[in-house]
Amino acid sequence: MRIDLHTHSDASDGTDTPAELVAKAVSSGLDVVAITDHDTTAGWAEAQAALDDAPTSFRLVRGMEMSCEGRGEDGDPVPVHLLAYLFDPADSTFAAERIRQREERVSRLRAMAINIAADYPIDPEEVLARVGTSAGRPHLAAALVEAGVVDSVSEAFEELLSRKSKYFVNKQDAPIDEAVAMIAAAGGVSVIAHARARMRGRLLAIDHIEELAERGLGGLEVDHPDHPEDERVLLNGLARRLGLIVTGSSDYHGDHKEQALGACTTDLDAFDALVARASGAAVLHGRSDARGER
């Protein structure tokens, strides 16, 4: 089976609608796809409705990518992304945190857009208008490309939108220890996303990952396009030692990034272990037969 457990729709910073994401996952030969938009479940309903046109063998995992803060290798706070799978979206504590984080995202995007507009021809209100449910720097990157300030989204992130840029604005993310606990309380499973993507900046300390494993962390995203082979080996060994589930994913964003759906995948045994651990939401199946009928 081909299983991709980390993808984004335009409910956050992808370019495909949730329905298009499901359709592309089916057409690309995936058997399982997870929708994991940033700090929101807004794409879940549309993705679920798209299962009317997906074969019964196809499965949809509903999840989210949560913005967190952990302890870096240097001892200072570091941004961390935490994938949350199959949690109960009605859990009040977790729902309130998602609302808070989305509000933080809008405030940060507005502040960065205003900063950049002082030097470059972009309109902060137009940037905000292009946001779906969850605001992110890719929305600003797209505006910079359209204005001719940069040639690509990647260039925007490397220069004007990087954490070292004078235009960058921090946002208040959830402490990752609390996030792991919230996800577990909502019946979900937590997996640290791209934990060794050194190209993205500073890294989460290994001893903090060890602490999180003791507090209910479910797994590590090992096979990821931003992980070189030596980091995958390190993470695989760490996961085995700590008893964590090993996942692999594309981190697909549509046209905003180069990664194709299924660029990295999860083994079936690991997927089954993740599903067995979850109690907040079920895996959903396609509802069309082989002739495309409902």
Q: At a CB cut-off of 8 Å and minimum separation 6, what does 25 contact?
A: 4, 7, 33, 58, 261
pLDDT at 248: 97
pLDDT at 200: 85
DSSP string, 160-214: TTSTTSTT-----PEEHHHHHHHHHHTT-EEEE-STT-GGGSS-B-HHHHHHHHH
Q: Read off the tokens for 170.
A: 């921090």
pLDDT at 223: 97
Question: Which amino acid is located at 45 in the chain?
Answer: A
pLDDT at 132: 65
Q: Using DSSP, state whether 56 is helix, strand or coil.
A: coil
Is 285:59 a contact under the CB 8 Å cutoff? Answer: yes
pLDDT at 102: 85
User: How many C-beta atoms surround the C-beta of residue 200 within 10 A?
Assistant: 14
pLDDT at 214: 97
Q: If phi over 0 gives left and psi between -120 and 50 gives alpha, with beta otherwise, what is residue 194?
A: left
- Name the DSSP class of 156: H
Q: Tell me the CATH architecture of domain 3-99+176-285.
A: Alpha-Beta Barrel (3.20)
Q: Per-residue pLDDT tens, the chain, 294 aa: give them.
A: 999 999 999 998 899 999 999 999 999 999 999 999 999 999 999 999 999 999 999 999 999 999 999 999 999 999 999 999 999 999 999 999 999 988 888 888 899 999 999 999 999 988 888 776 667 788 898 899 989 999 988 899 888 998 889 998 888 899 999 999 999 999 999 999 999 999 888 999 999 999 999 999 999 999 999 999 999 999 999 999 999 999 999 999 998 677 899 999 999 999 999 999 999 999 999 998 754 433
Q: If phi over 0 gives left and psi between -120 and 50 gives alpha, with beta otherwise, what is residue 86?
A: left
pLDDT at 292: 41
Report the predicted TM-score, pTM, of the whole model to 2 decimal places.
Answer: 0.86
pLDDT at 294: 35
Beta bridge partners of 288: 55
pLDDT at 258: 77
Is 153:145 a contact under the CB 8 Å cutoff? Answer: yes
Sign of CA dihedral 132, 78, 197, 154: positive
